[in-house]
Amino acid sequence: MNILIKNGTVVTSTQAFNSDIYITDGKIVQLSESLNILEPIDNTINASGKLIFPGGIDPHVHMHLPTPAGYSADDFEIGSKAALLGGTTTLLDFVTPQKGQSLIDALIDRKAEADNSLCDYSFHVSPVEWNKNTEQEITDCIESGITSFKVYMAYKDSIGLKDDDILKVMQIVGKAGGIVTLHCELGDDIDKFREELGQIGKLSPKFHPVSRPDYTEADAVKNAIEMAKKANCPIYIVHTSAAESVKYIEEAQKSGQQVYSETCPQYLLLNDSKYIGDFKDSSKFVMSPPLRKKEDQNSLWSAINKGVIKTIGTDHCPFTLEQKEQGLNDFRKIPNGAGGVEHRMTLLFSYGVLQNRINYNQFVDITSTQAAKIFGLYPQKGEIAVGSDADILIWNPKTESTISVENHHQNCDLEIYEDAKTVGVPEIVISNGEVVVEDGKLISDTKGRFLKRNI
Ligand code: URP
Ligand code: ZN
C-alpha cells in the first residue's frame, strides 16, 4: 500500500515545516516538499490546511483490568478503537501477575488478551511480590522486549510492594538498563485513613480524596526518588497529580537524576469539586490518586511547560455505573478509575495548545515523542521521519466537538469529560501505513502488533 500525503504542515516535537509524505509498506519512505512519485500510488491525501502529527502514544492504559467489581469496561478491541478514533495509535498497558505466577507467564497471558487490539501495544510488567525467581523473570521479560516495570506503593493488600522489594526491583532493572515506573501513594497511610473514615461512617464518594491527601502522593514520590538514587535506576512517576510531588521531581531532575514524570488530562482539567454531588455524578471521579485543587492544576501545566512533566497518559480504566455501584454505601468498594483514551489528544490540543499553555511542538512531545523515547520505541514511534512507522494524524485544527457519553466510543455509560467543548480532531488516522480512520470514522479492523522494545 502506497500513500502520498500532500500539502500538509508537519509538526514534530522540535519543528514545523511544509512537506509531502510518502508511505510504503507501513513506513515513511520520503519526506520533502512537492514530492514527485513515479510509481503507482494507492491513495493520495490532500492535507492542505491540516496539521500532520505523529500518532499519539498513551503510555498508561488499563484495558480489561480484573478488579473485584469485574473487568474494566473496555477490552483491548473496544479501547483501542476508541484510542484510534482519538488519534492514539500506540498503547502501553500493564501485565499484573497473580501471586505465584511468573512474570513471563503473565506476559504470555496478557499478550493473548491484547491480541484483538487495533493499536500497536506493549506492556509495563509489574512484579507484585519478590521471590527467588524475580531477578531471572525480569531478565526474561527484558529479553522478550519489555523494558519497563511498574511497581505500586499503594494497594499493599494486593499488588503493592513494600519499599525493600521496590529497591530490589530497581537494582535489577537499573543494572539491566531498563526503567521502573511507580504508582506513588503511601499505601499504609491511606489504608489507615480509609479504616478511620469507615469507623465514623464517612463513606460517600466525597471522602475518597480525604483518604488520599496530597502528601500521601508527594511523600511517596520523595521516597521513590531516594530509592532510585540508591539503586541507580531511572524512574518514571505515573499520574502525578499534586504540586508538592512536582517539587520533588524537579529537584531530582536538577540534581541530574533520571526521574521522568507523567500526568493525565483529568489532573490538568478537573478538580476535587467533582466529588460533591449525588453518587452517579461523583463516583465516576473516584480514581487514585484523586482529583486535586486548582493550584495543583496550575503547577502541573507549568511543569509540562518547563519539561519537568514529560508525558501525558490517561490511566484509562473505565467502569460502568453498575460497577461503580458496588460502592454505593462505601466509597472503598467503588472500583477506581475512569476512561479517557479517546479524548487525550483533543483535550491537550484544546486546553493546552489553543489556550496558549503549550505550543504545537510541546503538544507532540508530550502526547507522543517523549513516551517513545522514554520507553524504547524511538524513532520507530513518536516521530515523523524517513524510516519511522507511518503512524500519522491528519489533524483538522478547527473542528469543534462536545464530549459526551452519547457520542464517545468507550464502552461505558459514564463520561468524566461530559459536555467539555473541544476544538481539533484527527480527521484521518494512519496506523502502520494504513488509513484506519477517515472523516472521524473507523474504517479498518486490522490488528495491531506487540512491540518489542529496546533498552
Ligand atoms: O484509579 C486508578 N488509577 N485506577 C487504575 C488502576 C491504577 O491504580 O492505576
Ligand atoms: Zn494506572
Instruction: Write out pLDDT tens, residues 246-257.
Output: 999 999 999 999
Please give the Cα distance from 208 to 190 (Å, whole number).
Answer: 10
Which three three-digit cell numbers place residue 207?
A: 471522602
In CATH terms, 2-53+386-396+423-442 corresponds, of 3.30.1490.20, 3.40.640.10, 2.40.50.140, 2.30.40.10, to: 2.30.40.10
Residue type, 39: E
Whether 147 is in the pocket of ligand 1, judged by its Cβ within 6 Å, is no
Res 454 pLDDT > 90:
no
- Which ligand minimizes its atom distance to the CA of 124? 2
> What does the DSSP 8-state code read for residue 257?
-
Instruction: Write out pLDDT tens, residues 33-81.
Output: 999 999 999 999 999 999 999 999 999 999 999 999 999 999 999 999 9
Structure confidence at residue 322 (pLDDT): 98
Res 325 pLDDT > 90:
yes
Percentage of the chain modeled with pLDDT above 90: 99
Note the residue count of the chain. 455
Structure confidence at residue 15 (pLDDT): 98
How does residue 455 score in pLDDT terms, banded at 50, 70 and 90?
A: confident
111, 450 Cβ separation under 8 angstroms = yes
Instruction: Write out pLDDT tens, residues 339-381.
Output: 999 999 999 999 999 999 999 999 999 999 999 999 999 999 9
Residue 112's Cβ-side half-sphere holds a number of Cα atoms within 13 Å equal to 5
- Rounded mean pLDDT of 285-293? 98
Report which of 116, 149, 135, 75 is spatially closest to residue 341, judged by C-alpha positions: 75
Bridge partners of 91, per DSSP, are 58, 121
- Helix and strand counts by DSSP (H, E) for the chain: 15, 17
Give, for ligand 1, the residue of 240, 266, 317 to mutate: max count of ligand atoms closer than 8 Å to Cβ. Answer: 317
Percentage of the chain modeled with pLDDT above 70: 100
Residue nearest to atom 8 of ligand 1 (CA): 288
Residue nearest to atom 9 of ligand 1 (CA): 315
- Rounded mean pLDDT of 297-310? 98
Where in the chain are the domains? 2-53+386-396+423-442, 55-374
For domain 55-374, the CATH architecture is Alpha-Beta Barrel (3.20)
- Rounded mean pLDDT of 97-110? 97
With 0-12 / 13-18 / 19 or more C-beta atoms within 10 angstroms meaning exposed / middle / buried, residue 150 is buried
Please give the Cα distance from 264 to 281 (Å, whole number).
Answer: 20
Residue type, 235: I
Whether 217 is in the pocket of ligand 1, judged by its Cβ within 6 Å, is no
Res 84 pLDDT > 90:
yes
Give, for ligand 1, the residue of 287, 334, 416 to mutate: max count of ligand atoms closer than 8 Å to Cβ. Answer: 287
Ligand 1, atom nearest to 60 Cα: 9
* b/e burial code for range 29-47 (CB count within 10 A of at least 16 → b): bebeeeeeeeeeeeeebeb
pTM (two decimals): 0.98
Q: Return residues with CB closer than 5 A to ligand 2 (ion).
A: 315
